[in-house]
């Protein structure tokens, strides 16, 4: 299975406060620099699961860009795209429950253009995954939209993750819903808040049914309750409860695992269970790509 992603390759600045924050004062904590970016994370997890993975994205000419590219190659990911300007940086702040809040400076990541994609990028490709981050702004949004259309014309499966409820509202829910109707992804991932921003319904089942108007397979992420998958094959639920220390990248790992396993045997139930098990392991580690034992 060959999976390509388009979008952010970024430095994650991970900040964990060790005590309550007081505005204008100091707080003890821990800060680390880690490789990240949603598109890069999905590609890395796909490669770790035994798939061939390609990440299409722009990084800066600064040392961070070289570091991130080298890291992707060490992970077995083909990293393709230009280098110019500043590398994208994401500040990830973690609260006591392991929930994350992002401050993003996407810099060079937004600059990816259609001309940056090699002509043979579609050769042997089985699936194209787009975080919605890649569809919101800049040349990257135009490139990702074009790539989704070209993938569909070639019979390549297209997957989209809605990514961020705040950015969906900033973009315009009706506008993004129209974009999804145009792209018609084969698989659509969303948490409940993201899905409710675009689709009718309040329960997970209701929004999943509404998601099916634009996608063949709807995957609703329900946090500790696991995921709900609705497709032509029926309804599947799966959960693997875990004590969350850091939720960063768990959705990326879940998407990668579902895509890789679903591609292998077209079994949404097996893919769902594999996805929640991996996501449950990831939230117990540090950062978006902690070392975990992976089933092949």
CB atoms within 10 A of CB 76: 15
Q: Are 137 and 146 in contact (CB under 8 A)?
A: no
Which DSSP letter does residue 99 get? -
CB atoms within 10 A of CB 84: 12
Per-10-residue mean pLDDT, the chain, length 296: 98 85 81 95 97 98 97 97 96 71 92 96 96 97 98 97 95 97 97 93 92 97 93 94 80 97 94 95 88 74
Burial 146-157 (b: 16+ CB within 10 A, else e): ebbebbbeeebb
Predicted pLDDT of residue 243:
79
End-to-end Cα separation, the chain, in angstroms = 13
> What's the CA gap between 257 and 1, in Å, rounded?
12
Q: What total of structural domains would you count in the chain?
A: 1
> What's the CA gap between 13 and 284, in Å, rounded?
18
Residue 267 catalytic? no
Residue 29: inside a domain:
no
> What's the CA gap between 116 and 57, in Å, rounded?
9
DSSP secondary structure letters along 242-259: ---S--TTHHHHHHHHHH
Residue 123's CATH number: 3.40.1190.20
Q: Given 186, 252, 265, 267, which residue is catalytic?
A: 252
Residue 16: inside a domain:
no
Residue 202: inside a domain:
yes
CB atoms within 10 A of CB 253: 29
φ, ψ (nearest 5 deg) of residue 67: -60, -45
Residue 102: inside a domain:
no
From edge to edge, which strands make up the β-sheet containing 234-238? Answer: 77-80, 52-56, 2-6, 127-131, 157-161, 187-191, 217-221, 227-231, 234-238
Predicted pLDDT of residue 97:
61
Residue 290: inside a domain:
no
Residue 92: inside a domain:
no
> What's the CA gap between 148 and 185, in Å, rounded?
8
Predicted pLDDT of residue 295:
59
Residue 22: inside a domain:
no
Residue 65: inside a domain:
yes
CB atoms within 10 A of CB 118: 12
Domain housing 144: 2-8+37-87+110-282
């Amino acid at each position: 299975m060959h999976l390509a992603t388009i979008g952010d390759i970024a430095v994650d600045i991970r900040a964990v406060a060790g005590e309550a924050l007081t505005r204008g004062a100091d707080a003890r904590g821990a800060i680390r620099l880690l490789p990240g970016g949603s598109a890069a994370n999905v590609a890395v997890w796909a490669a770790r699961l035994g798939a061939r993975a390609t990440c299409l994205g722009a990084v800066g000419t600064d040392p961070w860009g070289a570091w991130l590219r080298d890291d992707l190659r060490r992970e077995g990911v083909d990293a393709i795209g230009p280098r110019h300007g500043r590398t994208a940086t994401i500040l990830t702040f973690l609260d006591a429950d392991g929930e994350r809040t992002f401050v993003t400076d996407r810099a060079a990541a937004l600059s990816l253009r259609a001309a940056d994609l090699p002509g043979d990028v579609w050769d042997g490709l089985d699936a194209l995954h787009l975080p919605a981050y890649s569809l919101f702004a800049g040349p990257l949004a135009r490139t990702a939209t074009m790539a989704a259309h070209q993938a569909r014309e070639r019979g390549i499966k297209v997957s989209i993750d809605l990514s961020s409820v705040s950015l969906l509202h900033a973009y315009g829910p009706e506008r993004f819903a129209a974009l999804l109707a145009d792209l018609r992804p084969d698989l659509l991932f969303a948490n409940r808040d993201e899905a409710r921003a675009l689709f009718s319904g309040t329960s997970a089942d209701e929004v999943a049914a509404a998601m099916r108007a634009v996608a063949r397979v709807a995957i609703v992420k329900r946090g500790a309750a696991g995921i709900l998958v609705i497709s032509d094959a029926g309804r599947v639920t799966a959960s693997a409860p875990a004590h969350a220390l850091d939720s960063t990248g768990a959705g990326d790992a879940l998407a990668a695992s579902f895509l890789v396993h679903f591609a292998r045997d077209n079994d949404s139930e097996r893919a769902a269970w594999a996805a929640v098990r991996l996501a449950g392991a990831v939230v117990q580690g540090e950062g978006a790509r902690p070392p975990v034992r992976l089933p092949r």
